[in-house]
Amino acid sequence: MNPNRRDFIKKTALAGTGALLFGCTDNEKIESANVDFNKSYNWRMVTAWSPHFPLLGEGAEDLAKNIETMSGGRIKIKVYGGGELVPPLETFDAVSQGVAELGHSASYYWAGKTPAAQFFTSLPFGMNTSQMNAWLYYGGGIDLWHEVYRQFNLVAFPCGNTGAQMGGWFNKEINSINDVKGLKIRFPGIGGKVINKAGGSAVLSAGSEIYTNLERGVIDATDWIGPYHDYLMGFHEIAKYYYYPSWAEPTGVIELLINKSAYESLPIDLQSIVKEAASIQNAKLTGLFKKRNAEYYNKLKNETKVEFRKFPDDVLNSFKKFSKEAIDEIVQSDSMSYKVFESYKKYHELFYSWDDIVEPNYQPL
């Protein structure tokens, strides 16, 4: 018998025995942890989103409720929208310093703190959502994330994903890379560096300012998220062309930031509850984004005059070239970014080689 097959059969036969013993082993762990079921924790969660912001702010509130339920009320969490306790972009510092125990955000906001942080949200022409989850959970991505954040007294776990986003709203057709030159485009992060390399001007502005800036011509185009949030923002009222795909954000990981000292002060069962609640929320919020974006894509397509346009191949090829340059500049100037990107790149290539043959773009039956 083939030795690999023999080992597989042996492990399968032992699985039932292991299942019978599993409960005993778990009970022993809980007993050894000296769990005090009467002790409770009152925590605060700050977010990078406006209070009750659709999906993202709501996801933070849902996560907090799930942790309280799963812990039997031993962890109670009060959620603060951006600006209610600290400004949205001070979420990182607030959790790091213990002003709040938890934060709900996206790691690429913290590139100014540590450049490697942005690799855990999305990279231009990078992994899609399923690939990103595989790298984070099973390719060492979360361990690297913790290593990056250790100096800030933080740990983090994925707790949602926007999925693939859209390429942005334009009032000018983009038929070649030359059409990007001179455009003022609201674009954050590495994508903004790419726009600058292409001859455009990347502009940073708060979400609340985008509509007015686009309407008044302060900017010529903007990225945002996807059909659901873009519809709620009303961009279809003031922009003619809606471009796809999002070369800059083929996925969008949402992070649960946790003060490391607070997390380690929890008994082992509550640590596990916080961690697993984030995993559950990761699946739920990712699925909800998929549903809402699909619904509102059809709403925009069928009920408005918006013209959906695909970026021409030469534009995407140019963006890809400039993206590589921008990423190379980051990893060559920061050793931690280099370490993270080496792992990211290895798994991206591995996953792509498999997905390329098993994940064709099937048409509906």
3-state SS, residue 307: strand
Kindly tell me if the per-residue pLDDT of 13 is higher than 70.
no
User: Which domains does the chain carry?
Assistant: 37-163+251-290 (3.40.190.170), 168-248+306-333 (3.40.190.10)
Tell me which amino acid residue 142 is. Answer: I
pLDDT at 8: 47
Which residues contact residue 349 at a Cβ distance below 8 angstroms, ignoring those fewer than 6 apart? none
pLDDT (tens digit per residue) in 164-211: 999 999 999 999 999 999 999 999 889 999 999 999 999 987 777 899
Edge-to-edge strand order for the sheet containing 307-310? 201-203, 184-186, 221-222, 168-170, 241-244, 307-310
| Whole-angstrom distance, CA of residue 362 vs CA of residue 365 | 9
pLDDT (tens digit per residue) in 231-277: 999 999 999 999 999 999 999 999 999 999 999 999 999 999 999 99
| Whole-angstrom distance, CA of residue 250 vs CA of residue 167 | 10
pLDDT at 10: 52
What confidence tier does 6 reach under pLDDT thresholds 50, 70, 90?
Answer: low
| Whole-angstrom distance, CA of residue 93 vs CA of residue 91 | 6
Give the H/E segment covering residue 215: helix 207-216
pLDDT (tens digit per residue) in 308-339: 999 999 999 999 999 999 999 999 999 999 99
The residue with greater pLDDT, 12 or 80, is 80
Kindly tell me if the per-residue pLDDT of 20 is higher than 60.
no
Please give the share of the chain, as a percent, with pLDDT higher than 70: 90
Token pair for residue 322?
A: 């400039």
Q: Is the pTM of this model over 0.75?
A: yes
Query: How far is the first Cα of the chain from the last one, in angstroms, to the nearest whole number?
Result: 42
Q: Give the length of the chain.
A: 365
pLDDT at 23: 44
| Whole-angstrom distance, CA of residue 236 vs CA of residue 217 | 15
pLDDT at 209: 86
Q: Which of 79, 91, 92, 89 minimizes the C-alpha distance to 51?
A: 79
Burial of 365 (0-12, 13-18, 19+ CB in 10 A): exposed
